[in-house]
Structure 1
Amino acid sequence: MDYGIWSILPPLIAILLALTTKQVFISLILGIFSGAMILTDWSFFAAVNMTLEEIVAIFSEAWITKTIIFSFMVGGLITVISASGGVQGFINYLTQKRDIVKDKRGALLLAYITGLIIFIESSITSLVSGTVARPLTDKYKVSREKLAYVCDSTSAPVCGLIPLNGWGAMLMGVIGVQIANGVVDGTSAELLAKSLPFQFYSIIAVLAVGYYILTGNDWGPMAKAEKRAAEKGLLLREGATPMVSEEATATPPKEGIIPNMWNMILPILVLIFMMPLSLYITGAGNILQGSGSTSVFWAVITAVTFAGFLYVIQGLMSLKEYIDYIYQGIGAIVPVAILLITAFAIGNVIGYLETGEYMASLVEGRVSGAFGPAIVFIMASLMAFATGTSWGTFGIMMPIGIQMAVAMGAPLYPTIGAVVSGGIMGDHCSPISDTTIISSMASASDHIDHVNTQLPYALANGAIALVLYLAAGFMI
């Protein structure tokens, strides 16, 4: 059934309510319910039942369940690492022994560099950056919104630009279908590699983060947040609700423990290196064919287990204390998990309504080739903003974008780059995006405050990228 313009209603309701009420959970539920109303032909009780069933049904998809468990386990890992004295030891090393991080710029650069070098998976990138840098950014009075921005804008963009990860596997898969269908020639790896220089938004986003860190020239809501933190010492806006509790984000070392940075570094190294190993195993020897959801699941389980052996063997805590800290961390992540569950559920409802296909149909075949990359970028951005998923946008827009490029005579590589960049940009702007939610969690920021402060930067970066796509369309 073709739902037409009605298919836009659920994401529109969820996004507008989230931005105006700042109650993301209620906004997502109402978005799901409105979609269910449309799907059940406006039957109230059938829509209520469908809303509840859709929330339960997401656990039937293994990759979603693994992602939620991953979030729980990361919460446990962060808490137990803090209790072991690892985080405090790392802070002492950087600020006292080596005098490396001396101010807020150094603390933010630590998060930035961490985001650049950990490109194995966007969620892990955000979580590691936030975990490592947050104690230092708190010390030097950096707003949580600024840290969330750094975590968010060095996760997906970097993973897209260095696709030796699950992102690369996914993108080559959707490109490969078009090759198999005879739409374009070549190999998926070749086409993706040649499109990387045309991921204009991703490139600009990464450079912009570095610029704002080095110069401090923040503007808009971000400038107000930074001024509040610097002058009043308020890392969060008064009345704001951090994605995880302050107790969980600032778990002190267990009494009597001598802080040691290796108690943090070693488990995080295990987490990082398990990711490519898991991709290699699940891909039967081909890292680019591995399962991203399974790999992050294996990686965090291994890291949590390793941390337990490390701390118990050292006598830092008993097995019971270790388990208690894990439970404490898991408990702190419950609000995040609830938001992820509802975000995935509304994504499924939007899929039933074929919102993405409807949005793409509005321009398909109606523009000249020179405008192709720019139009594809705009459509991918709007689609990711409305659906809250960059990967879902890639799956819908990559076939459409490639076929449009061929039919219109638009340059192919900029068009592929526009799909990826547009998906990431829309994700950065969307309050219902799972990756944006995880970035808020990693920085312990209020989620809507993160969206509101990042939005102007994302739009500015997107405007520059749009100009570059227009130039590429006419010059290549």
Structure 2
Amino acid sequence: MEETLHHGFWSLLPPLIAIVLAILTKQVFISLIFGIFLGWTMLNGGNPLYGLFDTLQALVDVFKDSGNTRTIMFCALVGGLIVFMQRSGGVAGFIALVQRKLQAYEGQDDQKSKVIVSLLAWFTGALIFVESSISVLTVGALYRPLFDKLGISREKLAYIADSSSAPSSILIPFNGWGAFIMSLLAAQGFSDPFATMLRSIGWNFYPILALLIVPAIILWKKDFGPMKKAETRTQSGKLLWDDAQPMVTDELTEQEVAPGVTPKAYNMVVPIVVMVVLMPVMLAYTGWADAATAAPSSGWDHLLLAIGKGSGSTAVLTAVVGALLVSMAFYKAQGIMGIREMVDLTLKGIAGMIPLALLMLLAFAIGTLCKEHLGTGIYVAEITQSWLSPALAPFLVFVVSCFVAFSIGSSWGTFGIMIPIAVGMGQSLGADPHIIIAAALGGGVFGDHCSPISDTTILSSMASATDHVDHVKTQLPYALIAGGLAALGYLILGFV
């Protein structure tokens, strides 16, 4: 397909219908599948039978790209690693370790203790950047008893957990978030998706602001809006409002530790360290030859260039497999579990990640459809060139991504829908691709934070044992401040 080819207004329908359906049904999977089916039916002259055949083939063709396959495999295998850390007592041991360190603050009600414990909750959530759900659940399990004793509202805990998980996961992309984003960028023709993603991080205003506003609010000691009322209520001795329906998390936070095993924090720390260390090592290894060909250099410059040209999907897959193998040997040496149980736990973890892997599959398929067959981004750029300048593009991409993510409650689903459209439109308008990518990613995280149907928003309410509606209402003003500043930043940046 030539670069300028598109199918006019029809190229808008598949992603647009997918967005509208997601808003109406709240079913991201069904909406993406229908969008893909509609696109292929259109390409086959309106024949739904051929459209169905090509839809199935398009899903199969996702695996023709080795990068896509490796990313989906990583997503599945990281579920096995999470179950390993739970079964070995690593997560429970880490929670117990932190709680022992925080015993000095139990029973105290002075402002200094509240500030320190709140900051530690924020730091813990940001530190566990490997997986956003684990971050949220760990923060809830660790700090909920302390927050209750110190008279800090559970709504504040839910806000801290929610605002430190996804932002840190996207800003420190050595995880499934990074692999997914790199695969989407590679599908859009970027030869160095890792370097492209890293360059966009500095322009990803919302996650940066969301992370920074949390400690600012804690140190400022002055809440506002519904959060202020929640804090006043808690300080008077009421943990929840009279009509609140707290979301209890015993099933989610209770760890299935192997019988007879003493929980130890290092059973969680060691696998995570192995995975995080292996990622840049494998990026450098896979990009070493390309770096030497592109710009012969030596030392630190060559290493950085190699990391930028490395295969993100290879790095994350190798890292998670390495972490799994190290965990198996580590736990076997301690007598925690045998080979048969390890295999069963790996399969159990993979089964738990199947929905996320399916979302990746559909996102890759609709991205390829929009870019290579429909030319959606190119058409959007052509019809907006008369009134849309490159200066306005980042702002509009951010706003649209916010709306999509808020409506469907999924940042990853938003990435899959918006990245192909935003990149194609940005390239045709001549806008800076790194800013455009950052705007799409940041908008997805912002909308997801504000959405009451977002999985991380729901998990934050669960982990904090607070009413879900109360969490959404108390978090919204803070998220809107960060989102408003981010939107203003893109508007100013575009013109400057």
* TM-score of the two chains, using structure 1 as the length reference: 0.71
For the residues of structure 2 that align with 1:473 and 1:287, how far apart are their CA atoms?
29
Structure-2 residue corresponding to 1:412: none
Shift of 1:378: 1.6
Structure-2 residue corresponding to 1:325: 345
Shift of 1:331: 1.6
How do residues 148-297 of structure 1 correspond to structure 2 at under 5 angstroms? 148-157=162-171, 159=173, 199-211=204-216, 232=244, 234-235=246-247, 250-284=254-288, 285=303, 286-297=306-317
Structure-1 residue corresponding to 2:365: 345
1:309 partner letter: A
Q: Would you say how many aligned residue pairs link Structure 1 and Structure 2?
A: 426
2:208 partner letter: I
**Relative to 1, partners in 2 of residues 1:359 and 1:213: Cα closer, same or farther, differing over 3 Å?**
farther
For the residues of structure 2 that align with 1:395 and 1:153, how far apart are their CA atoms?
22
For the residues of structure 2 that align with 1:22 and 1:49, how far apart are their CA atoms?
26
Shift of 1:253: 0.6
For the residues of structure 1 that align with 2:116 and 2:35, how far apart are their CA atoms?
41
Deviations 1:263-290 (A, max 9, x none): 1111111111111111111111421211
Deviations 1:189-211 (A, max 9, x none): 99x97x87655445334324545
For the residues of structure 1 that align with 2:182 and 2:344, how far apart are their CA atoms?
38
For the residues of structure 2 that align with 1:52 and 1:66, how far apart are their CA atoms?
20
> Are the aligned partners of 1:381 and 1:424 in contact in 2 as well (CA < 8 Å)?
no
CA RMSD of aligned residues (A): 4.8
Stretches of structure 1 lacking an aligned partner (at least 5 in a row):
178-188, 237-241, 405-414
**Relative to 1, partners in 2 of residues 1:455 and 1:56: Cα closer, same or farther, differing over 3 Å?**
farther
How do residues 59-458 of structure 1 correspond to structure 2 at under 5 angstroms? 59-99=63-103, 112-113=122-123, 124=130, 126=132, 129-130=135-136, 132-133=138-139, 135-136=141-142, 147-157=161-171, 159=173, 199-211=204-216, 232=244, 234-235=246-247, 250-284=254-288, 285=303, 286-351=306-371, 352-364=373-385, 366=387, 372-379=390-397, 382=400, 388=416, 392=420, 395-396=423-424, 399-400=427-428, 403=430, 415=432, 418-428=435-445
Residue of structure 2 aligned with 1:13, choices 17, 34, 38: 17
Bigger shift: residues 287-296 or 316-325: 316-325
2:167 partner letter: S
1:8 partner letter: L
**Relative to 1, partners in 2 of residues 1:156 and 1:218: Cα closer, same or farther, differing over 3 Å?**
farther
Instruction: Determine helix, strand or coil for the equivalent of 1:155.
Output: helix
**Relative to 1, partners in 2 of residues 1:151 and 1:111: Cα closer, same or farther, differing over 3 Å?**
farther
**Relative to 1, partners in 2 of residues 1:71 and 1:165: Cα closer, same or farther, differing over 3 Å?**
closer
For the residues of structure 2 that align with 1:383 and 1:263, how far apart are their CA atoms?
39
For the residues of structure 2 that align with 1:473 and 1:319, how far apart are their CA atoms?
56
2:350 partner letter: I
> Are the aligned partners of 1:394 and 1:420 in contact in 2 as well (CA < 8 Å)?
yes
Structure-2 residue corresponding to 1:184: none
Deviations 1:141-193 (A, max 9, x none): 67879745532222324559xxx999899999x9999xxxxxxxxxxx99x97
Bigger shift: residues 452-461 or 147-156: 452-461
> Are the aligned partners of 1:111 and 1:129 in contact in 2 as well (CA < 8 Å)?
no
Stretches of structure 2 lacking an aligned partner (at least 5 in a row):
107-112, 148-153, 289-302, 405-413
**Relative to 1, partners in 2 of residues 1:129 and 1:392: Cα closer, same or farther, differing over 3 Å?**
farther
**Relative to 1, partners in 2 of residues 1:208 and 1:27: Cα closer, same or farther, differing over 3 Å?**
farther
Shift of 1:471: 3.6
Shift of 1:76: 0.6
Shift of 1:472: 4.3
**Relative to 1, partners in 2 of residues 1:471 and 1:144: Cα closer, same or farther, differing over 3 Å?**
closer
For the residues of structure 2 that align with 1:339 and 1:291, how far apart are their CA atoms?
21
Give identity over the alignment, percent. Answer: 32
Q: Considering only CA atoms, is the larger Rg found in Structure 1 or Structure 2?
A: 2
> Are the aligned partners of 1:108 and 1:147 in contact in 2 as well (CA < 8 Å)?
no
For the residues of structure 1 that align with 2:33 and 2:283, how far apart are their CA atoms?
34
For the residues of structure 1 that align with 2:365 and 2:173, how far apart are their CA atoms?
25
For the residues of structure 2 that align with 1:64 and 1:108, how far apart are their CA atoms?
39
**Relative to 1, partners in 2 of residues 1:300 and 1:14: Cα closer, same or farther, differing over 3 Å?**
same
For the residues of structure 2 that align with 1:340 and 1:104, how far apart are their CA atoms?
40
**Relative to 1, partners in 2 of residues 1:374 and 1:42: Cα closer, same or farther, differing over 3 Å?**
same
> Are the aligned partners of 2:125 and 2:139 in contact in 1 as well (CA < 8 Å)?
no
> Are the aligned partners of 1:169 and 1:289 in contact in 2 as well (CA < 8 Å)?
no
Deviations 1:352-385 (A, max 9, x none): 22222222223336456xxx43333324664795
Deviations 1:276-333 (A, max 9, x none): 1111111114212111111111110001111110101011112222222222211212
> Are the aligned partners of 1:202 and 1:424 in contact in 2 as well (CA < 8 Å)?
no
Instruction: Determine helix, strand or coil for the equivalent of 2:257.
Output: coil
For the residues of structure 1 that align with 2:189 and 2:72, how far apart are their CA atoms?
28
Bigger shift: residues 262-271 or 124-133: 124-133
> Are the aligned partners of 2:160 and 2:214 in contact in 1 as well (CA < 8 Å)?
no
**Relative to 1, partners in 2 of residues 1:200 and 1:24: Cα closer, same or farther, differing over 3 Å?**
closer
Establish whether residue 31 from structure 1 lines up as the match of residue 35 from structure 2. yes
Bigger shift: residues 83-92 or 134-143: 134-143
Residue of structure 2 aligned with 1:3, choices 3, 7, 25: 7
